[in-house]
Amino acid sequence: MKYYIGIDLGGTNTRVALIDANNKIIKTAKEKTDPSKKPDRVSYQTAKLIKKMQSGIEIRKGLSGVCIGLAGLLSPDGLSVKIGPNFGWRDVPFAKLLKRHIDIPLMIVNDLTAVSYGEFAMGAGKNSRNMFCVYVGSGIGSALIIDKKPYDGSSNVAGELGHIKIREGGRLCGCGAKGCLEAYTGGNSVRERLIELANQDKEGFLYKSVNGSTERLNFSHMEKGFAARDAVCTSIWTEVRDLLSMAIANVVTVFNPDCVVIGGGAISNTPLLLNAVMKDVRKYATPPSCSVLRIRKAVLGDDAGMVGAALLIKEKLDLT
């Protein structure tokens, strides 16, 4: 029996899944990512996790490959991390570092490529052919599935919805550019705006909702304020809804997928916003592009990345 390992390598947690040739999940594991975030230490920890998942003679002999999903921009060959924002990495040859510890076929993909493939194969996008996946968490991530295969683009950086420009000279984004969608709708950026506004009005809803501990503010407080008809929260909530809806709708108009999957920690915890975005995508996209479109909430949660990564390495090796 052949086995495959998928890893969701996050800045806080590392999640691992082992699947067999029948796509059955054999076992999973989770542990805190090395807090130093140094490439050599993270690669060593990752290799140890892989060896841990290999326990058992049959699995050790049958392990065919490993795929790692992580946030960032990758080199065209998928072996180096050009920009890894969760780790502060620049031009890190992560595959080479890993191969110091393990001798197994290896590939690295963007984390949303792994997440989207997990949802496509075993989640909300099952039975679709062309799918667009959007995750609203600390930032905005997205990925495309075309003809049942991940679309990476000409230089391995396709699907960066969070970094399309929506405001000339607008708010500063974590990527260093100004006016990105993520700077207005990503969880971290919205949180920064909420804190800024709360500290300006200590009699307002936001400040009082956390008893002055403004560092606790997040997407959920924005939605609670919207539900309470607070003017400040309603203004931000409405802007996030409109910008996300239009951005996703524009991709629907250009790409014409049969399925859009929306998930991520921030938007999953704001159901009013999620439902509004799902509804308004159809309002802004052209009617013909919506004729066969399904818009679904992501269903795999934290398992999507590690499962999708395992399925990706399995498919790649099955085709070789």
C-alpha distances out from residue 114 to 56, 109, 135, 224, 309, Å:
26, 7, 12, 32, 5
- Report the pLDDT value the prediction gives residue 29, as an integer from 0 to 100: 94
Spatial separation of the C-alpha atoms in residues 48 and 155, rounded to whole Å = 31
The tokens describing 150, both together, are: 């991940």
**Average pLDDT of the residues in 149-167:** 92
Say yes or no to pLDDT of 76 above 90.
no
Give the single-character DSSP code of 71.
S
Which pLDDT band, with edges at 50, 70 and 90, does 320 fall under? low
Say yes or no to pLDDT of 59 above 80.
no
**Average pLDDT of the residues in 208-232:** 97
- In the block, residue with structure tokens 């999708």: 308
Give the single-character DSSP code of 119.
H
Phi and psi angles of residue 124, each rounded to the nearest 5 degrees, phi first: -65, -25
Report the percentage of the chain scoring pLDDT > 70: 99
Say yes or no to pLDDT of 255 above 90.
yes
Say yes or no to pLDDT of 57 above 70.
no
- Report the pLDDT value the prediction gives residue 197, as an integer from 0 to 100: 97
Q: Which residues contact 318 (CB under 8 A, 6 or more apart)?
A: none
Per-residue pLDDT reduced to its tens digit, 17-26:
999 999 999 9
**Average pLDDT of the residues in 187-212:** 96
Which of 61-65, 93-97, 284-288 shows the lowest per-residue confidence on average (mean pLDDT)? 61-65
Half-sphere exposure of 152 (CA within 13 A, CB side): 16
Say yes or no to pLDDT of 12 above 70.
yes
Spatial separation of the C-alpha atoms in residues 84 and 86, rounded to whole Å = 6
Report the percentage of the chain scoring pLDDT > 90: 85
Helices (H), ranges, the chain: 39-53, 57-62, 94-98, 111-122, 182-185, 187-200, 205-209, 219-227, 231-255, 265-268, 271-284, 304-319
Which string of DSSP letters, residue by residue, matches 143-195?
A: EEEETTEEE--TTS----GGGSB-STT-SBPTTS-BSBTHHHHSHHHHHHHHH
Q: Which residues contact 246 (CB under 8 A, 6 or more apart)?
A: 280, 284
**Average pLDDT of the residues in 197-208:** 96
Say yes or no to pLDDT of 61 above 80.
no
Strands 89-92 and 81-84 turn out to be antiparallel
- In the block, residue with structure tokens 């996008």: 125
- Report the pLDDT value the prediction gives residue 77, as an integer from 0 to 100: 86
- Report the pLDDT value the prediction gives residue 54, as an integer from 0 to 100: 86
- Give 147: exposed, middle or buried? Use CB within 10 Å, 0-12, 13-18, 19+: exposed
- Report the pLDDT value the prediction gives residue 85, as an integer from 0 to 100: 82
Which of 60-64, 160-164, 230-234 shows the lowest per-residue confidence on average (mean pLDDT)? 60-64
> How confident is the prediction for the chain on average, in pLDDT?
94
Q: pTM of the entire structure?
A: 0.91
Which of 55-59, 82-86, 164-168, 246-250 shows the lowest per-residue confidence on average (mean pLDDT)? 55-59
Per-residue pLDDT reduced to its tens digit, 160-192:
999 999 999 999 998 889 999 999 999 999 999
- Report the pLDDT value the prediction gives residue 318, as an integer from 0 to 100: 81
Say yes or no to pLDDT of 86 above 90.
no
